[in-house]
Amino acid sequence: MPGHSWRDDRLLAAILADIPGLQTRQSRLDLVYDVGPKLRDVVREHGRPRDHLREVVRTSRRTRTLPELRDVLLEAEPQDVGAHWFALAVTVLTASGPLPAGYMLHLIHELRELPPEFGMSTVDRYKAERRRAGRPLDADGLPVALSGLYDAQEDPAEPGGPLTRMTHFLGLLAEEARAHEQGERLAGLLARVPGRRGAAAGPSPGEALPEPEGRECQVIIQIRVQEAGPPVEAHMPFTRRSYFLRGFRYDRTGADEPRFHRATDPTEVFPGAELDLRGREFLLTWHQQAGSGAGGVTRYEFLLPDELLGHPVELWPGGPAGVPLSHGCQVVVRSLTRYDDSSIHHQWARRWDALDRDCEPGDALERIGWMGPDTVNSKDTGWSCPPGRYPPLRLTDAAQVEDWLRDHKDLTCLGLGAPYELHDPLMREAVRDALMYDGIPVVVWRRDAGDPRLLLDALRHGCPPALLAELPESVRGARQQRRRDPLSVGSHISLLWDDPSCVFRNQNSQMPGTRGAGTGEGAA
């Protein structure tokens, strides 16, 4: 299913979890059994109903049995409105219709938030119109009516195509929403039906709709900090190097391919000692000229050379008020070296594809693999490794990384027990090996050399990630805690978040696409 993401799975599982008939273990086992061996032979059982149903949805999507699951559910629960919402959502994800799948999933989420009787007056009104026209519609509820309209075929004998009929129905539904005390958000969504005359053809660049369970809109802003001049020795500090800056903006909806929006011209070359000053000036100019996209999810990706991966770019202000970028949006760093070298992208894409693959939502932080210098026998007190799935790697030589990661092929997120610093050759080489040779896509650490366990506490306190794909938002939440305290853990978090499918040969043209983490879709 092109574009199908873990957010879609969450919506489907949430619908199933609201069906009373699926609360017993036996009813869920019967449902899976009736779908057939393609599902029942591979799905794993969980004790909690919601966890079990999430696994059923994920496995159905992976085995391409969602249509069969839909049909069995409708036969087992024909009177439950949730079964019909599930049927509509599966139809949207598995068939082509008159409106974009992302819009429809957002609409389903919003409609389910309203009382179950909402929409019935619209259905009755529309059915009366159809009867008068001699083309009756058989629908006894809102999800059934929407399913019929979405899955309708072209009929030469009937005026107007499926899009015309669907948008007319949604126009009637908007009237009911405007009269409903809880329908303000839904009315706003229905005012933007793609394809309706007078409505936008979709979100404008940077416009975002609040879609917690459906397809989210996102603005991706990439800032390249590019080294200028001839190559220099690896240990040379950044203050003695020269750089220039350039920015790019892309917009995307859900798992759809992002659209190139605009780019800025390169800045003049400047000395590294002026990096923070020039970075602040650049972002202020960017804010004035390019905009960052009001609302939705905005992520700044700083593509940095090796010597700057630990630089606190998230503290640069995003506008004239001087508020740090990280207080208003996600801010991550990326390896410019790896980004520019397509010869090493295969391993990188493989690790990214495994980010959340076959993982139940839970405490995603337990799937961080920790590595740091072995300082147990030195005067240093060493670092304390948080508990988790993987045994820690206590480094005495960077060459140890190869064997450790070979033993853990599903490890995708590294935690550093000591800061990544250019003047520390052990950590520098160990991280470089993990990125360039083994394709690790995600790395998180404290720049202040503090206890890694406190870093995890900060992530869990603000916005605990159920999946590693949620880590950028979790880090943003941690950075906002005690935001005026320069000694807080959140003020010293670095997150390298390297999506390999965000790799573009020519940044001034349309890019091939950004895929969802862990969906099995590699770099374009």
3-state secondary structure of 234: coil
**Per-residue pLDDT reduced to its tens digit, 297-347:** 788 999 999 999 999 999 999 888 888 888 888 999 999 999 888 889 889
pLDDT at 376 over 50: no
Strand 393-395 to strand 368-373: parallel, antiparallel, or no bridges (unpaired)? parallel
Q: Among all chains, which residue has been given the structure tokens 């599930």?
A: 86
3-state helix, strand, coil in the chain (%, to 5): 45, 15, 45
pLDDT at 250 over 60: yes
Contact 356, 6 (CB under 8 A): yes
**Per-residue pLDDT reduced to its tens digit, 346-375:** 899 889 988 887 776 677 899 999 999 987
Percent of the chain with pLDDT over 70: 84
- What are the distances in angstroms from CA 321 to CA 264, 324, 477, 499? 22, 9, 20, 30
The sign of the torsion formed by the CA atoms of 179, 184, 188, 189 equals negative
Q: Rounded to 5 degrees, what angle do the CA atoms 182, 184, 185 make?
A: 105
**Per-residue pLDDT reduced to its tens digit, 431-450:** 999 999 999 999 999 999 88
Distance CA 111, CA 96 (A): 21
Q: Which segments within 428-470 are labelled E, that is strand?
A: 442-446
Give the distance from CA 34 to its chain's centroid: 33
